[in-house]
Amino acid sequence: MAIRGVLFDIDGTLYAFEEAEQAGLHEHLVAEGLAERFASPAEALRLWRDLKEDEYDRFLRGEVTFTGQKAMRTRRFLAAAGVADAAALTDEAAAAWFTSYAARKNRTRLAYDDAAPALDALTGRYRLGVVSNSALAHQRTKLEAIGLLGYFTEPLICSQEHGVAKPAASIFLAGCQALGLDPVEVAYVGDNYETDAVGARDAGLQAIWLDRSAGAGADSGVPDTGIRVITSLAKLKSLPDF
């Protein structure tokens, strides 16, 4: 059956979050007088991302709120940096620290260069939507800031409001329902192989894995049956049915 709709992941697919995170964290640590507590900016970034993965997974499992995972990440990071009484920071103090970091990160947030042109090419030919493991208000604000919100059908589907996260089938199916289409009529595009590509395929959608590293010369390997691979969003138009 022909594709009539396309659902997108956001972070790492449309939004260049890793670049913004790296720049924002370094700037924040310098401003807070904490940069020299780490052997290098790369070490600080590695720790921040490790803690993010750990606490964000807890959020996705429903163990903490979206706001709560930010506070816990902040306390653990500052404790590792040797900040006195970091573990005892109040929610308000942790939130203030994280907000200052996020403001610096957000000044550098941009869409990938291939995002708007790809969406322009799809607009009017396909119904477009979003399925994201995050919170709705956060992702809507982000898409608006990088100039992409107007491309997408409302409601945007996010895990906090939906109740479960990708790769659960139900969140992909909720995205299809938002488009008014059957899963077989919908392609899903995301950069995470297991969460996005395998999850979408297993939910009955047409799975497209965006492997940007392969475009830089890395070997993405052979994908599972039912998963197509692109190295840039510009490659969407060269796929069958697009």
Question: What is the side-by-side order of every strand in the sheet holding 227-230?
Answer: 157-158, 127-132, 5-8, 186-190, 206-210, 227-230
Q: What's the pLDDT score for residue 215?
A: 53
Q: Does the pLDDT of residue 221 top 70, yes or no?
A: no
Q: pTM (2 decimals)?
A: 0.86
What are 123-174's pLDDT values in tens digits? 999 999 999 999 999 999 999 999 999 999 888 999 999 999 999 999 999 9
What are 16-45's pLDDT values in tens digits? 988 899 999 999 999 999 999 999 999 999
Q: Does the pLDDT of residue 222 top 80, yes or no?
A: no
Q: What's the pLDDT score for residue 23?
A: 93
The chain-wide mean pLDDT, for the chain, equals 94
What are 71-127's pLDDT values in tens digits? 999 999 999 999 999 999 999 999 999 999 999 999 988 999 999 999 999 999 999
What are 226-239's pLDDT values in tens digits? 999 999 999 998 89
Going from the C-alpha of 67 to that of each of 39, 50, 82, 187, 225, the distances in angstroms are 29, 18, 23, 31, 38
Q: What's the pLDDT score for residue 39?
A: 94
Q: Are 48 and 54 in contact (CB under 8 A)?
A: no
Q: What's the pLDDT score for residue 232?
A: 97
Q: Where does the pLDDT of residue 53 fall: very low under 50, low under 70, confident under 90, or very high at 90 and above? A: very high
